[in-house]
Structure 1
């Protein structure tokens, strides 16, 4: 797998670089650092940014790329020319509820990137609790496969979350819905088949996940679970085209914007080893 880390400013981007390095180690991936400067006027300072970032990746073979222009435009161009599988970008800490944590460049990359995107948020990188979000579509299998591989490599605990729309009128509360999950998994409904298949995929990587079924707004339920379970990484999918890109892509953007942790948005599939079940 080929990973591109977009470094804007050091030492502020230290956690971003370290998290990208962690993923590279877990997946045995090649790693490229990219810094986009506004002009060639301060060559020494731009070289220093890449040198400081590379110092955080001791033991890893790192390629360094420096270019000039607009960050989003140049990053997307580099992604296409370099045939990368994943780009790692940062999210700033919003000081107010009205402030967006993703810069305009990060938002543009998340929406337009031809590959998967890892949005890093927080301090020191860790991967102990992973939340895999499944929409019950053909997007689910690449998301689950990527999540399973990363989680097994990191020894992380996994929660598999499926949000099934609004609460049926026959139920009065979320606790009652949760109690029906074992019974649901015994049925032959589309949701039950999907959750069983998802559990089989995880089991093929020797992962026993906690399965959670929620009813409500997709973004709200994902963020709620991330807060309640102190998640380190949310993994979800985003389609590359069609009407689902408008809906699920918007979900991915809103989750990345508001999550309390890092978010991996899987586009297409990541080239990680798979097993047959």
Structure 2
């Protein structure tokens, strides 16, 4: 069963790029849309007032009809950080999110909502702070452990439909332990596809898939801090979409102390990000 889209909004105008991108995504890949509107802080005294959801729903319906996509509208009351993960668990979806417009003091005290969503939602997440369409350039981060496979698979479908150029990126981080595989990667970081290492094999396989689909594809490598180098590549390459695996692809203890790279990237760029946990099959 191919997943449909669950596009979410709390009426905040900055969620509109996610709706716009989701409509394009659904039309391009032939998916159905469920638009979830979350009514937050509903004041009984203002029951007859025009709610921001009404305007954004009206715009969305017009857009969905224009794109010829099948859609369903749902409205739930509550806190978006609670309602969205709960609704996501009720079906097989790709979740499309945008910034929820939280006050700066709340972001400082609790962190950004996207970080929490990545922890709570098992399904693929498409986070869209800015709609960069048409889709011409996709950046796929390859870590070498296979956690990016699900995100990579979705990205390749998007690339085929839009004929987007694909860049496969691996970051070689500072290495503290000197063991054979790490040494090979460090010494051959500019030609990783020629190495018999996990990342070398992952890059070759992804490159073969892309070229087998008739796509223009490249391999790039950078050295340094993973978050800083990915953000620098996004800026230098002017990409329209970033695709990454999720640290929650693994149940290893490492995710308890290692930084959530995907969340940190999402907080540092306006480029749309597709993140997905690895799943067998």
Q: TM-score range by the shorter chain?
A: 0.7 to 0.9
Match of 2:83 in 1: 74
SS of residue matched to 2:244: strand
Match of 1:158 in 2: 166
- Sort the Cα spacing of 1:103 and 1:61 in 2 relative to 1 into closer, same or farther, 3 A: farther
* Count of aligned pairs between the two proteins: 258
Determine if contact 1:144/1:201 at 8 Å carries over to the other structure.
no
Distance in 2 of aligned mates of 1:16 and 1:195: 30
Distance in 2 of aligned mates of 1:103 and 1:34: 23
SS of residue matched to 1:108: helix
Determine if contact 1:131/1:160 at 8 Å carries over to the other structure.
yes
The structure 2 residue matched to 1:90, chosen from 82, 93, 98, is: 98
Match of 2:154 in 1: 146
Structure 1 position 123, deviation (Å): 4.8
**1:118-143 residue CA offsets vs partner (Å, 9 max, x unmatched):** 11022563311110001101213223
Match of 1:54 in 2: 61
Match of 1:121 in 2: 129
Flag structure 2 segments of 5+ consecutive residues without an equivalent.
Answer: 177-185
Structure 1 position 163, deviation (Å): 1.1
Structure 1 position 196, deviation (Å): 1.3
- Sort the Cα spacing of 1:151 and 1:145 in 2 relative to 1 into closer, same or farther, 3 A: same
Q: In the alignment, is residue 267 of structure 1 matched against residue 277 of structure 2? A: yes
Determine if contact 2:138/2:159 at 8 Å carries over to the other structure.
yes
Determine if contact 1:129/1:156 at 8 Å carries over to the other structure.
yes
Matches within 5 A, 1:1-277: 1-9=3-11, 11-38=13-40, 39=42, 41=44, 42=47, 45=51, 46-57=53-64, 58=66, 59-81=68-90, 83-91=91-99, 104-123=112-131, 125-166=133-174, 181-182=190-191, 184-238=192-246, 239-240=248-249, 241-246=251-256, 250-269=260-279
Structure 1 position 150, deviation (Å): 0.9
Structure 1 position 257, deviation (Å): 0.8
Structure 1 position 19, deviation (Å): 0.4
- Sort the Cα spacing of 1:50 and 1:178 in 2 relative to 1 into closer, same or farther, 3 A: farther
Match of 2:179 in 1: none
**1:141-161 residue CA offsets vs partner (Å, 9 max, x unmatched):** 223222211111111111110
Distance in 2 of aligned mates of 1:179 and 1:52: 51
Distance in 2 of aligned mates of 1:192 and 1:107: 30
**1:61-113 residue CA offsets vs partner (Å, 9 max, x unmatched):** 110010101111111111111x132111113799x9xx87x974333212211
- Sort the Cα spacing of 1:246 and 1:54 in 2 relative to 1 into closer, same or farther, 3 A: farther
- Sort the Cα spacing of 1:198 and 1:72 in 2 relative to 1 into closer, same or farther, 3 A: same
Determine if contact 2:33/2:72 at 8 Å carries over to the other structure.
yes
TM-score (norm 1): 0.81
- Sort the Cα spacing of 1:154 and 1:264 in 2 relative to 1 into closer, same or farther, 3 A: same
Distance in 2 of aligned mates of 1:104 and 1:116: 18
TM-score (norm 2): 0.80
RMSD, aligned α-carbons: 3.1
- Sort the Cα spacing of 1:270 and 1:62 in 2 relative to 1 into closer, same or farther, 3 A: farther
